[in-house]
Amino acid sequence: MLNLFSSKPKIRGGVHAEEHKAETAHQPIVKTFPLPKKLYIPLQQHVGKPAEPLIRVGDTVLKGQLLAYSQGMISAPVHAPSSGLIVDVNDYPAPHPSALPIRMIVLETDGKDQWCETTPVDDPFQLMPEDISLRVGAAGIVGLGGAVFPTAVKLNMGRENRIDTLIINGAECEPYLSCDDRLMQENAEHIIDGVRLMLHGMETQYAVVAIEDNKPAAFQAMHAAASAFANIKVMQIPTRYPMGWDRQLIGYVTGREVPVGSRSSEVGVTIHNIGTAYATHNAIRHGKALVSRVVTVSGGAVGKPMNVEVPIGTLMSEVLAFCEVDTDKTARIIMGGPMMGDSLPHSGVPTVKATSGVLALTAAEIRNTQEQPCIRCASCVTVCPAGLRPLDMANHIRVNQLDSAVDIGLKDCISCGCCSYICPSNIPLVHYFKYAAGEVAARQQAQHKSEQTKKLMEARNARLERIAEQQRLDEEARATAKRERERLQAEQTEVA
Beta-ladder partners of 315: 350
* Residue 377 annotated as part of some ligand binding site: yes
Give the chain's end-to-end CA distance (angstroms, integer): 104
Contact 337, 174 (CB under 8 A): yes
Beta-ladder partners of 360: 333
Closest among 137, 144, 124, 133 to 276, alpha carbons compared: 144
* Residue 380 annotated as part of some ligand binding site: yes
Residue 493 CA to residue 496 CA, distance in Å, equals: 5
What is the DSSP-derived secondary structure letter of residue 22? Answer: H
Closest among 175, 174, 165 to 198, alpha carbons compared: 165
Residue 194 CA to residue 367 CA, distance in Å, equals: 40
What is the DSSP-derived secondary structure letter of residue 104? Answer: E
Contact 222, 247 (CB under 8 A): no
Alpha-carbon distance values, 158 to 66, 198, 264 (Å) = 27, 10, 10
Residue 349 CA to residue 93 CA, distance in Å, equals: 6
| Cα atoms in the Cβ-side hemisphere of radius 13 Å centred on 65 | 19
Contact 135, 284 (CB under 8 A): yes
Q: 458 CB contacts (<8 Å, ≥6 apart)?
A: none
Looking only at the bridges linking them, the beta strands covering 342-344 and 101-109 are unpaired
* Residue 384 annotated as part of some ligand binding site: yes
Q: 455 CB contacts (<8 Å, ≥6 apart)?
A: none
* Residue 413 annotated as part of some ligand binding site: yes
Beta strands in 259-305 (DSSP E): 269-273, 292-298
What is the 3-state composition of the chain as percent helix, strand, coil, each rounded to the nearest 5? Answer: 40, 20, 40
What is the DSSP-derived secondary structure letter of residue 325? Answer: B
Contact 259, 33 (CB under 8 A): no
**What are the binding residues?**
374, 377, 380, 384, 413, 416, 419, 423
**What are the binding residues for [4Fe-4S] cluster?**
374, 377, 380, 384, 413, 416, 419, 423
